[in-house]
Amino acid sequence: MTMNKILNIAFALAFAVLFVACNPIEKDFGTGEVVTSADQLNVTITPVMFKTYKTNKYKVQCKSPVVCKWSTTGSYISNDTTVMILGKGTQNIKLTAMAADGSVLTKTYSVTVDSMYYPVPPQWGYLCGTGSKTWVWAVDNKYSGSQWIWGNGGRSGDIAPAWWGRTASDASAEGIDISGTMSFSLDAATFTKVENGATTKGSFSFDMTPSSTTKGIGTLSISGATIQHGVSQNDGKKVVYKFDIIKLTNDELVLEYSTESNNYEGWFWVFKRQGFSY
């Protein structure tokens, strides 16, 4: 189950609780307080301070009769919570609110971070830089003599394509966009992919728990889009949205997906930071 599905289920359950508790909604809030537009939301956003500095944590509250999901570099389903922001300067907090009639309202709030007072996992910086970072196929990688950028190998023993793979020229001949890019941004954890002239956007999240079945140091989940040529070849070319992170540094990103139909096989994607050369 993808992270997006989990969030949607949680959002729906939270709405169901609100609907049961407040049906009819006028009973508790009055007909004049039924929310029909984002501008009607009663929202308070307050920085958590360190001395005179606005830190990278903000207290967010919504007193309107809605269920709230706040998005920064993660998603928080609550009407009263504290969110973490992983970038300095002007940043955005996006609110997605579900009203009792099922309508969804969205609004983005601009905030300022003066001090990165609360520790930030280093993986965010590796993947997104100080704001946004663009990744491309590692066509000159050193993981195989053939410089495979995508292919299969042992799911538990390999760290890159080792059994079969595609070089840049192979992949290009098969219609894979070698010049495609994908960017990860700290601003609301947004993901943008440009592939074969088309731009798709989504969001992403981390779980840096090591895998027990692969050499993964964590998992990367993407909602609304997928990585460059993000398909599991031997699972009927199924589109993949959740990957084991095999390697993540300032310059390299290697991802793996374990084939469902073969307990020994994994598919690997080898990317590098745009502008980096081996």
Omega into 24 within 30° of 0, i.e. cis? yes
Average pLDDT, 10 consecutive residues per value, the chain (278 residues): 46 47 38 77 97 97 95 87 91 92 93 94 90 96 92 96 96 96 90 97 91 95 96 96 98 97 95 97
* Alpha-helix runs per DSSP H in 22-166: 26-29, 122-128
Confirm whether 209 is domain-assigned.
Answer: yes
Decide which of 117, 147, 163 is a domain's last residue: 117
DSSP H or E segment with residue 247: strand 242-248
Q: Which two tokens stand for residue 265?
A: 């096989």
Residues 157 and 208 in one domain: yes
Residues 6+ apart with CB under 8 A from 227: 182, 193, 240, 243, 255, 269, 271
Nearest Cα residue to 96 out of 123, 72, 118: 72
Give the pLDDT of residue 27.
Answer: 34
For the record, the structure tokens of 180 come out as 């495609």
Q: Which residue, 60, 92, 117, sits at the end of a domain?
A: 117
Burial environment of residue 246 by CB neighbours within 10 A (0 to 12, 13 to 18, 19 or more): buried
Partners of 151 in beta bridges: 165, 268
Domain shared by 185 and 265, yes or no? yes
- In the block, tokens 């606005």 appear at 54
Token pair, residue 167, equals 């070089």
What's the number of domains the chain is made of?
2
Output DSSP code: residue 17: H
In a domain, 227, yes or no: yes
SS3 (DSSP) at 16? helix
143 lies in some domain: yes
Q: What is the CATH number of the domain that holds 172?
A: 2.40.128
Query: Does residue 233 lie within any of the structural domains?
Result: yes
Q: Are residues 131 and 112 in the same domain?
A: no
99 and 29 share one domain: yes
Residue 75 is part of a domain; what is its CATH number? Answer: 2.60.40.10
Strands of the sheet with 104-113, listed across from one edge:
75-77, 66-71, 89-99, 104-113
Q: Tell whether 128 and 111 lie within a shared domain.
A: no
Whether residues 256 and 240 fall in one domain = yes
- List Cβ neighbours of 277 (8 Å cut-off, separation of 6 or more): 140
Considering the domain architecture, whether residues 242 and 155 belong to the same structural domain is answered as yes
228 shares a domain with 93: no
Is 159 inside any structural domain?
Answer: yes
Same domain, 250 and 145: yes
Residues 173 and 217 in one domain: yes
Enumerate residues 6+ apart whose C-beta is below 8 A from 182. Answer: 134, 135, 191, 192, 193, 194, 227, 228, 271
| Residue 140 per-residue DSSP state | T
41 and 164 within one domain: no
The residue segments making up the domain with residue 36 are 3-117
Q: Is 262 helix (H, G, I), strand (E, B) or coil?
A: coil
Q: Using the 3D structure, point to which of 117, 132, 152 is the last residue of a domain.
A: 117
- Give domain status of residue 18, yes or no: yes
pLDDT of residue 222: 96
The CA distance from 264 to 156, in Å, is 7
Amino acid at position 149, single letter = I
Q: Which two tokens stand for residue 109?
A: 């709030």
Q: Are residues 148 and 112 in the same domain?
A: no
In a domain, 278, yes or no: no
User: Is the pTM above the cut of 0.85?
Assistant: no
33 assigned to some structural domain = yes
Give the 3-state secondary structure of residue 173.
Answer: helix
Which letter does DSSP use for residue 233 in this model? G
Contact 138, 148 (CB under 8 A): no
- Give the integer Cα–Cα distance in Å for 167 and 162: 12
